[in-house]
Structure 1
Amino acid sequence: MAAAEGTDDKHSHTTAILVASAAAIGGFLFGYDTSVINGAVAAIQREFEISSVTLGFVVSSALLGAMVGAWFAGPLANRLGRVRVMVIAAIIFLISAIGSALAVHPVDLTIWRVLGGLGVGAASVIAPAYIAEIAPAKLRGRLGSLQQLAIVAGIFVALLVDYIIADVSGGASEETPWGGTAWRWMFASGAVPAVIYGIMALQIPESPRYLVSKNELTKAKDVLKRLIGGNVDGRIREIQRSLRSDKPVRLSDLRGPVLGLLGIVWVGILLSVFQQFVGINVIFYYSSVLWEAVGFDSNNSMLISVITSVTNIVTTVIAIMLVDRIGRKPLLMAGAAIMTVSLGTMAVVFASAPLVENAQGEMQPELQGVAGPIALVAANLFVFGFGCSWGPVVWVLLGEMFGNRIRASALALAAGAQWLANWAVSTTFPWLSEKGLGLAYGLYAGFAFLAFFFVWRAVRETKGRELEDMDNPAAARA
């Protein structure tokens, strides 16, 4: 009998992994959208003849849409179901990819990017929430990390596609052999993962917690048997108990004594903000332009960006292996320490580099001697520190740290804060880089340093706990 139960558990865990992997493809869209513009940045600026400030807004405009999409994804998911929202997100991203490729002006490009952000923002909230709701407790950290693995895979594929298109065309501003400018095909390529995500979303079951909330108990039991195995009646009763006080998503659900919000909500918001304020998306939005600025040619700059994204994938796999063994908090603290050192090194290298005039008459830092390799190693060490900690672990925590009653609204608010912080960093980087890359990286190093102490004092470990346990009032206090 024990052997049979063990076999059933193994089968259900395999099913849970496959279902979570399909849901995590929403993270792939997130990562793809984050980096597909990387190879197009310089070409867009040249074609539309826009300033660095305007360029920063165009590049980061998708994040404004993502912030809105993240907030409304929660109420929509509670009304329509998790799977339907995934399909809607895929359709929106598909339309955005095609529209961005056909843009004729910075204004309509910005509009299409904002529209795509709506889909990406919705997917960024639904995927971790769905995975947390279908995953067995012993696997939840690893399965939650699949979201970040999908994100970094999306980043890698987008950068690789950019590199191939630019290499075949002779540059992002050049005509491709099959017609049309290279940077437009970079955007158009986003249609492929959007279609795949939509198809995969239609193949997975609805969240058992959503089904219980709609009183579809038979369907919920069937899903739980497939994903968890064994006798699921007790789990159904636990979900019913935790959902009895469930209400429509409102900010009023999150009110508390700490500056108007519950302490646990502030922890989620600050985790999201610190994740972005260390400057990770500067690497993935502007890395090609950055490496061109310090002496690498266009193709080599894109190739370096591809290599950096591979580092990100490898470190995320490491995090998936460790998150349920070591725990969430130790990984976050270790990652913050690594990022502080690597960003501090980059700040010193760029601050001390001599300025030289480029072909456009602009003054840019020139990394001489060993400074170039040191900067490259430090950048990849920074990606390593982020990839094995703050990248995946923050998404895991956001999916599991809130009680059932407030999960949708708290996760939506935290994700919205994350996208807003991402937008702030991405928009200000072109301006900051003109003031000096040493200043920019020094600022990000300071935030990484603060993040270490924030985790040490405010973040509680969630490893191995059932989601229903988060409804305990003690777990809702920071």
Structure 2
Amino acid sequence: MNKNSLYVFSITLVAALGGLLFGYDTAVISGAEGSLKVYFIDSLGLGSLAHGVTVSSALIGCIIGGLVSGYFATKLGRKKSLILAAILFIVSALGSSYPEFLFFTKGEPTIALLLAFNFYRVIGGIGVGLASAICPIYIGEIAPAAIRGRLVSFNQFMIIFGMLVVYFVNWGIASGETMAWTNDVGWRYMFASEAIPAVLFAVLLCLVPETPRYLVIQKQDQKALAILTKINGSPEAKAILMDIKQTITMNASSQKLFAYGKLVIIVGILLSVFQQFVGINVALYYAPRIFESMGAAKDSSMLQTIIMGLVNVVFTIIAILTVDRWGRKPLLIVGSIGMSIGMFGVSSMAFSNMIGIGTLIFIIIYTASFMMSWGPICWVLISEIFPNKIRGRAVAIAVAVQWAANYFISSTYPTMMEYSGGLTYGFYGLMSVLSALFVWKLVPETKGKTLEQMENTWRKRKEDQKDSQII
């Protein structure tokens, strides 16, 4: 690894800590949701809808964070927006672990206390929404084109690694303890543990630079050139700076959202929708519950969740190693096929009432297929496909839609499962098939192209559409 590559990787590693916190925050609920049900839902006499909303409450914040990410990325910059996300993670971790702070009595659940808990989860969700949108933008704008897919995919690796870390943390906290202790105290430690990586993220962000493309938008060309030179070397840096300046107007925020046609926005939105409608976060949020329904004990279900997390890490690494070699579209299509096999397999097992080791195998096939494809590649494409002039707002829309779809799928899962497990998993399998058709027909290949070249691709598509309408 040469000096330039080491510099780029070190910056990417710091930014990707946002991905780790993204994964940590979204998966911490998997170990705590059973205890939250006992502590809040059951004690207050609430039903499955309230349980689903509580488990998924952070996603409301994710939607908000996604929606405002474009504004903050444009007004504050990529770096300062990530620092804001880190602060929100810290507040959420401490508040979720002790929602009684100042206003309530510990050990006395009330509706107001449940609302306070959900408020802190929403705060963390806003941090996740910001990080999920801005981390890929930051890495995509820093990374050289030849290795951009690999570096943005590394952000997804950190998301999955964050999930794996919290699976171990949750298991370590609950292991050897009584269920009564976990339901009263253990879940608090699970949420509080997130403060440690959040503080580290905030500190390290102070040491990395702003992205060159944002600096050019702010008319700080010399600072942008200095960073580009460190990353690409002097001759190439000057050429890249010229390309950036040619594709960024004097006021980038004034560019109309549909300046490059509606198709680029539609593709970004559908990438986000399909990534969630295939049902991945059901497997991640409710993993211990799914394994318990297969007959596993509480400790065993968390251990099986760790096994699933390890599989996810391995297959995310496969995506990182192949995304710049094989391209984005082939990985997405192969992943969709694997996910459909996994989910239709789980569906058939549910219809046959044959829950057992076969179900575990199909879930692993499903999650492994997702992690080598839609998990990292969706974020790679969202960071790549939008032109410079509309990237902040377009990514914000795509990410907000993604979290809205996530919330819909996750919050409806308990109710859908009460109706029919087979139909629920069959629906996710059908979405996997449709996702493959969507990629085949509409998604452009971005392998090896600079962000400025992608802008020309969409401009040409828009012109071709105009020509076809005239004919």
Q: What amino acid is the match of 1:16? A: V
Q: What amino acid is the match of 1:20? A: T
Q: What amino acid is the match of 2:414? A: P
Distance 1:56 1:132 in 2: 35
> Cα–Cα, structure 1 residues 410 and 175, in superposed 2: closer, same or farther, change >3 Å?
closer
Q: What amino acid is the match of 1:134? A: I
Distance 1:425 1:330 in 2: 26
SS in 1 for 2:175: helix
Name the counterpart of 1:292: 292
Q: What amino acid is the match of 1:244? A: T
Q: Is the Cα contact below 8 Å between 1:149 and 1:317 reproduced in 2?
A: yes
Name the counterpart of 2:206: 202
Q: Is the Cα contact below 8 Å between 1:319 and 1:389 reproduced in 2?
A: yes
Which of 14, 17, 40 pairs up with 1:25?
Answer: 17
Name the counterpart of 2:197: 193
Query: Post-superposition shift, 1:18?
Result: 1.5
Name the counterpart of 2:31: 39
Query: Post-superposition shift, 1:169?
Result: 2.4
Distance 2:298 2:417 in 1: 19
Q: Is the Cα contact below 8 Å between 1:15 and 1:226 reproduced in 2?
A: yes
Which of 129, 135, 139 pairs up with 1:131?
Answer: 139
Post-superposition, which runs of at least 4 consecutive aligned residues in structure 1 deviate over 6 A?
A: none
Name the counterpart of 1:244: 249
1:387 equivalenced with 2:394 (yes/no): no
CA deviations 1:86-139 (Å, max 9, x no partner) are 111000110011111112522111111111101110011110001110100000
Gaps of 5+ in 2: 101-112, 466-471
Q: Is the Cα contact below 8 Å between 2:260 and 2:462 reproduced in 1?
A: no
Name the counterpart of 1:73: 69
Q: What amino acid is the match of 1:444? A: Y
> Cα–Cα, structure 1 residues 202 and 249, in superposed 2: closer, same or farther, change >3 Å?
farther
Distance 1:437 1:452 in 2: 24
Gaps of 5+ in 1: 1-6, 354-366
Distance 1:40 1:410 in 2: 34
CA deviations 1:412-450 (Å, max 9, x no partner) are 100111000000010000101111221110110010010
Distance 2:140 2:260 in 1: 25
Distance 1:452 1:432 in 2: 24
1:192-231 equivalent positions in 2, closer than 5 A:
192-231=196-235
1:7-18 equivalent positions in 2, closer than 5 A:
10-18=2-10
Distance 2:182 2:32 in 1: 13
CA deviations 1:157-205 (Å, max 9, x no partner) are 111111110114233x4159xxx60011111111111111111211111
Distance 2:380 2:462 in 1: 17
Name the counterpart of 1:311: 311
Query: Post-superposition shift, 1:148?
Result: 0.4
Distance 1:302 1:254 in 2: 46
Q: What amino acid is the match of 1:416? A: A
Distance 2:83 2:9 in 1: 20
SS in 2 for 1:323: helix
> Cα–Cα, structure 1 residues 145 and 476, in superposed 2: closer, same or farther, change >3 Å?
farther
SS in 1 for 2:388: coil
Q: What amino acid is the match of 1:248? A: S
Q: Is the Cα contact below 8 Å between 1:345 and 1:378 reproduced in 2?
A: yes
TM-score using structure 1 length: 0.90
1:301-340 equivalent positions in 2, closer than 5 A:
301-340=301-340
Name the counterpart of 2:391: 407
Query: Post-superposition shift, 1:254?
Result: 3.1
Distance 2:291 2:404 in 1: 26
Name the counterpart of 2:152: 144
Q: Is the Cα contact below 8 Å between 2:324 and 2:448 reproduced in 1?
A: yes
> Cα–Cα, structure 1 residues 289 and 334, in superposed 2: closer, same or farther, change >3 Å?
same
Which of 162, 165, 169 pairs up with 1:157?
Answer: 165
Q: Is the Cα contact below 8 Å between 1:93 and 1:119 reproduced in 2?
A: yes
Q: Is the Cα contact below 8 Å between 1:403 and 1:476 reproduced in 2?
A: no
Distance 1:144 1:228 in 2: 17
CA RMSD of aligned residues (A): 1.7
1:170-185 equivalent positions in 2, closer than 5 A:
170-171=178-179, 173-174=180-181, 181-185=185-189
Q: Is the Cα contact below 8 Å between 2:89 and 2:124 reproduced in 1?
A: yes
Distance 2:77 2:462 in 1: 25
Query: Post-superposition shift, 1:310?
Result: 0.7
Does 98-107 or 426-435 show the bigger shift? 98-107
1:244-283 equivalent positions in 2, closer than 5 A:
244=249, 246-248=251-253, 252-254=256-258, 262-283=262-283
Which of 70, 82, 91 pairs up with 1:95?
Answer: 91
Higher helix share: 2
Query: Post-superposition shift, 1:256?
Result: 7.5
Query: Post-superposition shift, 1:352?
Result: 1.3
Query: Post-superposition shift, 1:228?
Result: 1.6
Distance 2:22 2:254 in 1: 24
1:58 equivalenced with 2:54 (yes/no): yes
Q: Is the Cα contact below 8 Å between 1:246 and 1:404 reproduced in 2?
A: no
Query: Post-superposition shift, 1:226?
Result: 1.3
Distance 1:335 1:314 in 2: 14
Distance 1:228 1:80 in 2: 26
Query: Post-superposition shift, 1:81?
Result: 1.4
Q: What amino acid is the match of 1:151? A: I
> Cα–Cα, structure 1 residues 400 and 199, in superposed 2: closer, same or farther, change >3 Å?
same
Query: Post-superposition shift, 1:382?
Result: 0.5
> Cα–Cα, structure 1 residues 60 and 329, in superposed 2: closer, same or farther, change >3 Å?
same
Does 281-290 or 328-337 show the bigger shift? 281-290
Q: Is the Cα contact below 8 Å between 1:74 and 1:249 reproduced in 2?
A: no
Q: Is the Cα contact below 8 Å between 2:67 and 2:400 reproduced in 1?
A: yes
The alignment of Structure 1 onto Structure 2 pairs a total of residues equal to 445
CA deviations 1:258-295 (Å, max 9, x no partner) are xxxx1011001001110011110111101111211221
Name the counterpart of 1:453: 437
